Amino acid sequence: MSIETELVPTEFEESEILISPSQGLFSLELGDLWHYRELFYFLAWRDIKVRYKQTVLGAAWAVLQPLLSMALLSLIFGYFLGLPSGGVPYPAFTFTALIPWQLFAYALSQSSESLVADRNLITKVYFPRLVVPLSSVAAGLMDFAISFVILIGMLLLFRIPLSWRILTLPAFVLLALLCAMGVGLWFSALNVQYRDVRYALPFLTQFWFFATPIAYSIEIVPENWRWVYSLNPMTGVVEGFRWALLGTDYTIGPLVLVSSVIVLLVLLSGLAYFNHMEDKFADVI
């Protein structure tokens, strides 16, 4: 029971839609999602367009935020505390980690609020609800692209040589996005019913920030604590970025593998929960 994909204005189309009570856990209709890909595109485009409207600095915010964070973190952790950074200048060391983190944090907060923010769409029009959190995850890529250019500039400034490893970067970007999406699916669906999410999220993001080796190196974490760190998928992402751009010399293979498995689990469970709740959104939101 899928919808047609082509529009023939006056011809009658012989496709049938069946509307029936909610089915089991997994009734994910990918065809339906594909059919609404243009809506996905337009919603992401809207989020990007609207993002810096009526601001003086505009898209400069995308650069200012991580740069200021970088300055502060370098000052405290690099200069005051004198923490190790594997021979890399501290600003480059933290900035490399801050960029994927900002992507993740933005995507997570946007997608968690997305359903509630677009409640007027949810209650008035049909489309696969998954489009909403997915498009808000995508909108974060714009900021990422801008700050990535700054990052490359900084690496050149510090004369850090780029290697073939940079080609693996898209995989880590994807991992960050999927992680944000997985958690975002859980939170956006929970947020429809429990507005507690709105209050829990800033705290969680802050907590997560310090639980991820962004401001410091994973090397200062005691060996017997490392496995706990590896359970945090963002550790894999951040260390992956450093590996790809800064040429850190320790192996990150196992770490990335564990991160990927965990992201996959979160994503699948998030999809299942989202799907399970989807039918109730319009009634509850």
Partner 1 sequence: MSDTVIRVENLSKRYRIGSSQGHFKYGSLRDSLANAVKAPFRRLRSSSDSLKEAPKHIWALKDVSFEVKRGEVLGIIGRNGAGKTTLLKILSRITKPTEGHVRLRGRVGSLLEVGTGFHPELTGRENIYLNGAVLGMKRIEIDRKFDEIVDFAEIEQFLDTPIKHYSSGMYMRLAFAVAAHMEPDILLIDEVLAVGDLAFQKKCLGKMEKVTQEGRAIIFISHNMNSISHLCNRVIWIDLGRIISDGNADDVISNYLKTQQSFFKNSKLKAEEWNIRNKSHKFFKEITINGISLPAEIVLKQKSELIIQIIGESDGMLLRNFRSGVHISSEEGGRIMTYGTPWSAIGDINIKGKVSLTCKIEGLPLIPGRYLISLGCSTDHGSLDWLENICFLTITPDKQNSSRLPQIYKTHGYFLTESFWDIEEL
Which residues make up the interface to partner 1 (CB under 8 A)?
3-4, 7, 9-10, 12-22, 38-39, 41-43, 46, 49-50, 53-54, 118, 120-127, 190, 193-196, 279, 282-284
Specify the DSSP class assigned to residue 13. P
Which amino acid type is present at position 164?
Answer: W
C-beta closer to partner 1: residue 67 or 200? 200
In angstroms, give the least distance from the CB of 144 to partner 1: 22
C-beta closer to partner 1: residue 100 or 128? 128
Question: Using alpha carbons only, what angle is made at residue 245 by residues 149 and 44, rounded to the nearest 5 degrees?
Answer: 45
Nearest to 258 by CA among 232, 219, 223, 240: 232
C-beta closer to partner 1: residue 39 or 141? 39
Phi, psi of 178 (to 5 degrees): -65, -35
C-beta closer to partner 1: residue 11 or 223? 11
* 3 state SS of 11: coil
In angstroms, give the least distance from the CB of 90 to partner 1: 39
CA distance 274 to 192: 10
In angstroms, give the least distance from the CB of 27 to partner 1: 11
In angstroms, give the least distance from the CB of 58 to partner 1: 13
Q: Is the dihedral of CA 66, 187, 3, 31 positive or negative?
A: positive
* 3 state SS of 242: helix
Specify the DSSP class assigned to residue 57. S
CA distance 187 to 203: 14
C-beta closer to partner 1: residue 79 or 194? 194
Specify the DSSP class assigned to residue 214. T
In angstroms, give the least distance from the CB of 10 to partner 1: 6
Q: Phi-psi region for residue 2, left (φ > 0), alpha (ψ -120 to 50) or beta?
A: beta
Which amino acid type is present at position 249?
Answer: D
In angstroms, give the least distance from the CB of 107 to partner 1: 20
C-beta closer to partner 1: residue 14 or 249? 14
C-beta closer to partner 1: residue 75 or 125? 125
In angstroms, give the least distance from the CB of 153 to partner 1: 31
CA distance 236 to 255: 6
In angstroms, give the least distance from the CB of 45 to partner 1: 8
C-beta closer to partner 1: residue 76 or 284? 284
What Rg do the C-alpha atoms of the chain give, in angstroms?
Answer: 21
CA distance 244 to 54: 37
